[in-house]
Amino acid sequence: MKILVVDDEPDFRAMLREWLFRQGHDAHDVSDEREVLKILQQSHYDLVTLDLMMPQANGLTLVSQIRNVSPKTQVIVVSGEADVRVAVEVIKAGAQACMAKPVEFEAFREELTRLKNTLGLNSSVPGRSVVSDVATS
Amino acid sequence: MVTAIDSKSSATYVRRLEHLLDASRLLNSTLELSELTEIVLRIVQDEIPVDRCTLFVVDRKQKLLRLFIGLGGHAAVTGEPLDIEDAYADERFQQKFDEQFGYRTKDALCLPVFNCDGVIVGVLQLLNRTRPLNREDKEFLDSMCTYLGLALHNAWVHRELVESRKAEQELRQIRDRLEQAEKLSAMNELVAGIIHEMKNPLAVAIGYCSLMEEEVTAPVTERVSKVKTAVAQALKVAKNFLNFARSAGERVPTDVNSLITQTTELLTYDFRSRRVKLVCELDHLPITWVDPGSIQQVLLNLLKNAHQAAGDKAGGGTISIRSSHNSERSTIRIEISDDGPGIPAEVQSRIFEPFFTTKPSGSGTGLGLAVSKRIIEAHWGKLTFESTPGQGATFIIELPVHESTF
């Protein structure tokens, strides 16, 4: 999958991008959330992972904007503030899932697999086993 | 002509003088109004042949007798004594008092009492004499009223002085404690900010540990896993603390048992350092609508109090936390017990008062239990306690599972 990691925290952004890359994804990252919509208009991404607490924009609004600008792009919110209330708001705004920081990679993998299945990107090989192979090789 | 004084009346005269002297001494030695009243009524009833004797005291703040109707009230307003032979024939008489007290007033004598400045301070009322009052009786009553006026005046001055000192002291205490509460709140904000900043790097460290786990082999994998667990623990503590430091928020579906566990984890070190044993008996609880931060604050307050009580016990005490669900009432119940010294009977009625504390000066704000009660009541719940001095204390939180089912 082509994934855009949006987070203003450089170390976290780099770490997540590296992990996604190792899972076999085409991962990119951006720190300024104002750039996100511009990037999505220029090229297609299957998934955006988005931090909710960013200085320049309201994360929830950005979720809806992403879904409007690029309806085929899915959004997973990754936030240090994730709790049930936030998760409900995020899903209402159009995100696929809401994950808490620090990221539980096992749960993240499952989420990505589910997403791939939804998008029909892994018709031949089940995503989970591919991912596991990469991780243990 | 010389008036012969027989031995009987002479003895009465002497006794009355003695009584007056006693009254004067006693009235000068007490400054408490209730005590004063009791002394006067006892002496008057000993000496004057009446069935009932009452002292009305003028309320200084209202400037008038509380009871400014009726015969006593009339005497207070006019400052003139009233001697009524047939109360029911007098239009100033209020029959309702007789009805209220199940009494039948026949005659009445109302004597105004003045202080040294000539201001009325009370009325002495005597009802239903058993024989007509003579000149000596009236002289005796006049003297009593004079003493009484002085004593009431002194009692007022004393009470005002005590009240103003008490008010001043309370004001100072409230000011000090508010200042302390403000400091605490500022500290909370500061700590919340620091912890929020700590969360990010900790999350990054955990993420990289997970990446490393996938690229190294044993024994390094195990070590990385240990680092990850340790950092995750630090993050958990930071998150728990942040939850607490934040102000009251919205009610969300919450697993209260996990709130209890998180809160006890915050205090693990304190418990261990004072050899306090913690026993948790947590039954399955339904998801409950609460503000997790506030409820955690209540749990923390109660656990800290219990810790203090149990920690005072030689060899370390025990704290028990029990949770249970009442499906009929749709409520959950949390009990926090300690086996410390218990709550002394004399302070039990005051422990939920704001700024009331039994801890040494400077170590408690006296706000913990007051705030806790407020939080629980804001959730439509109840915070109560049971304590037998010497046998520990149990605080009980009851909360509705859904919003407002109480």
Note the ipTM here.
0.71
Domain chopping of chain B, boundaries: 10-165, 248-406
Min distance B266 CA to chain A CA atoms (Å): 19
Rounded CA Rg of chain B: 35
| pLDDT, position A48 | 96
| pLDDT, position B8 | 61
Nearest CA in chain B to A85: B252
A65 falls within a domain:
yes
Q: Does A102 contact B235 at a Cβ distance shorter than 8 Å?
A: yes
Mean pLDDT of A24-34: 91
Q: Is B201 on the interface with A (CB under 8 A)?
A: yes
Q: How far apart are CA A53 and CA A79, in angstroms?
A: 7
Q: What is the widest separation between alpha-carbon atoms in chain A?
A: 41
Is the CB of residue B70 less than 8 Å from the CB of residue B93? yes
Q: How far apart are CA A76 and CA A100, in angstroms?
A: 11
Q: B211, B215, B237: best mutation site toward chain A, by most A Cβ within 10 Å?
A: B211
Using CA atoms, how far residue B344 sits from A30, A77, B324, B388, in Å, is 63, 53, 28, 8
| pLDDT, position A130 | 29
A105 falls within a domain:
yes
Q: Does A22 contact B211 at a Cβ distance shorter than 8 Å?
A: yes
Q: Which residues of B touch A16 (CB under 8 A)?
A: 207
A128 falls within a domain:
yes
On the question of pLDDT at A125 being above 70, the answer is no
Q: Which residues of A touch B211 (CB under 8 A)?
A: 15, 18-19, 22
Q: How far apart are CA A61 and CA B166, in angstroms?
A: 57
Q: Does A80 contact B199 at a Cβ distance shorter than 8 Å?
A: yes
| Residues B10-165, CATH architecture | 2-Layer Sandwich (3.30)
Angle between helix A127-136 and A105-119 (nearest 10): 140
| pLDDT, position B361 | 53
CATH of the domain at A95: 3.40.50.2300
Q: Is B235 on the interface with A (CB under 8 A)?
A: yes
Q: Is B266 on the interface with A (CB under 8 A)?
A: no
Q: Does A83 contact B210 at a Cβ distance shorter than 8 Å?
A: no
Q: Output helix, strand, coil percentages for chain A, rounded to the nearest 5.
A: 50, 20, 30
| Identity of the residue in A11, A19, A84 whose CB atom sits nearest the CB atom of B211 | A19
Pick from B227, B202, B24: nearest CA to A80? B202
Q: Does A102 contact B201 at a Cβ distance shorter than 8 Å?
A: no
User: Which residue range is the domain that position A60 belongs to?
Assistant: 2-132
pLDDT in single tens digits along all 406 residues of chain B: 444 445 666 777 777 778 777 777 777 777 777 777 788 888 888 888 899 888 888 766 655 445 556 788 788 888 889 899 998 998 888 888 888 888 899 999 999 998 888 888 888 999 999 988 888 888 888 888 888 888 888 888 888 888 888 888 888 887 877 776 677 677 777 777 787 788 888 889 998 998 898 888 888 999 998 898 888 888 877 776 676 665 456 688 899 999 999 888 878 877 888 889 999 999 999 999 898 878 988 998 899 889 988 887 777 889 999 999 999 889 999 999 999 999 988 888 888 876 677 766 545 556 678 778 878 887 888 999 999 888 899 999 999 998 653 3
Which pLDDT band, with edges at 50, 70 and 90, does A74 fall under?
Answer: very high
Q: Is B196 on the interface with A (CB under 8 A)?
A: yes
A97 falls within a domain:
yes
Q: Does A136 contact B252 at a Cβ distance shorter than 8 Å?
A: no
Q: Which residues of B touch A105 (CB under 8 A)?
A: 207, 210
What is the number of structural domains in chain A? 1
Q: Is B253 on the interface with A (CB under 8 A)?
A: yes
Which pLDDT band, with edges at 50, 70 and 90, does A82 fall under?
Answer: low
| Identity of the residue in A80, A85, A136 whose CB atom sits nearest the CB atom of B203 | A80
| Identity of the residue in B200, B214, B253 whose CB atom sits nearest the CB atom of A9 | B200
Q: How far apart are CA A10 and CA B200, in angstroms?
A: 10
| pLDDT, position A133 | 27
A137 falls within a domain:
no
Q: Which fold has domain B248-406?
A: Heat Shock Protein 90 (3.30.565)
Long-range contacts from B229-232, C-beta under 8 angstroms, 24+ separation: B231/B202, B231/B205, B231/B206, B232/A102, B232/B206
SS3 B380: coil
